[in-house]
Amino acid sequence: GAGVSQTPSNKVTEKGKYVELRCDPISGHTALYWYRQSLGQGPEFLIYFQGTGAADDSGLPNDRFFAVRPEGSVSTLKIQRTERGDSAVYLCASSTTTRINEQFFGPGTRLTVL
């Protein structure tokens, strides 16, 4: 079956612009996670969805970051007023509720803020 997909694969934007990053999880996976990976670092947790609701958004760095999952499947990570420090690879993962430790990752979106 299809794995986790993310679009776009690359996004270049200018400082101050708004961007949306999309994640399409594995069909049937109710848990969805967003992570951010800066250059030379490991991924860092941003937000966790269980179904449609954000169960844990403690990793979002500030209120410019927001994520939604309105129908419990596709999720969109939204970043307002982008800053150069937002440049990173944004990774999405999904899992079943019963096996939350087995997270399957998408290929990521590389965001570059000029």
Partner 1 sequence: SQQGEEDPQALSIQEGENATMNCSYKTSINNLQWYRQNSGRGLVHLILIRSNEREKHSGRLRVTLDTSKKSSSLLITASRAADTASYFCATVGSNDYKLSFGAGTTVTVRA
19 or 89: CB nearest partner 1? 89
Least separation in angstroms between CB 25 and partner 1: 14
40 or 70: CB nearest partner 1? 40
Least separation in angstroms between CB 48 and partner 1: 6
Least separation in angstroms between CB 1 and partner 1: 16
2 or 39: CB nearest partner 1? 39
The DSSP symbol for 52 reads: T
The DSSP symbol for 30 reads: -
18 or 100: CB nearest partner 1? 100
The DSSP symbol for 97 reads: S
Binding site for partner 1 (CB under 8 A): 31, 33, 35, 37, 39-45, 48, 56, 59, 89, 91, 93, 100-108, 110
Radius of gyration of the chain (CA): 13
Least separation in angstroms between CB 4 and partner 1: 8
Which DSSP string corresponds to 58-89?
Answer: TT--STTEEEE-TTSS-EEEEESS--GGG-EE
Distances (CA, A) of 18 to 30, 38, 65, 78, 109: 27, 19, 10, 7, 15
